[in-house]
């Protein structure tokens, strides 16, 4: 059985089986990570996983979960952030669009 040695920031060295580890490989490689629940302190420990770590863990039997970041999430955004009021105004505006659409669409007479 494969044993993977890593460390918990609180408890120190930890030995895990591949099934006890979670490996998330992101399309943006800087965001890839592995995590596990420490058997001593029960905390979830999460650490970055570069290509070498991903290779080591997968060769050790850890199943990789693929995570694709939508391109829109990586776009640069400028301007002020939207507020809850903006979202509420948008939702209220959608109601007005429905009313306008109802006026435009001809009624089907039965
Ligand atoms: Zn721990």
Q: How close is the Cα of 12 to the center of ligand 1, in Å?
A: 7
Q: How close is the Cα of 35 to the center of ligand 1, in Å?
A: 12
Q: How close is the Cα of 6 to the center of ligand 1, in Å?
A: 11
Indicate whether 110 pLDDT > 70: no
Q: How far apart are CA 41 and CA 81, in angstroms?
A: 39
| pLDDT single digits (tens) 43-86 | 999 999 999 999 999 999 999 999 999 999 889 989 999 999 99
pTM of this prediction? 0.68
- Strands 4-8 and 12-16, by their bridges, are antiparallel
What pLDDT, on the 0 to 100 scale, is given for residue 73?
87
Q: How close is the Cα of 98 to the center of ligand 1, in Å?
A: 54
What pLDDT, on the 0 to 100 scale, is given for residue 17?
96
Contacts of 88 (CB under 8 A, 6+ apart): none
| pLDDT single digits (tens) 4-51 | 999 999 999 999 999 999 999 999 999 999 999 999 999 999 999 999
Q: How close is the Cα of 85 to the center of ligand 1, in Å?
A: 42
Query: Where are the domains positioned within the chain?
Result: 4-71
DSSP state of 9: T
């Amino acid at each position: 059985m494969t044993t993977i040695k890593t460390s918990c920031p609180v408890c120190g060295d930890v030995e895990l089986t591949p099934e006890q580890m979670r490996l998330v490989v992101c399309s943006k490689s800087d965001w890839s990570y592995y995590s596990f629940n420490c058997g001593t302190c029960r905390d979830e420990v999460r650490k970055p996983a570069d290509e070498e770590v991903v290779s080591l863990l997968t060769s050790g039997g850890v199943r990789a979960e693929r995570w694709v970041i939508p391109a829109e999430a990586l776009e640069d955004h400028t301007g002020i952030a939207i507020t809850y009021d903006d979202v509420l105004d948008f939702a209220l505006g959608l109601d007005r669009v429905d009313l306008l659409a109802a006026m435009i669409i001809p009624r089907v007479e039965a």
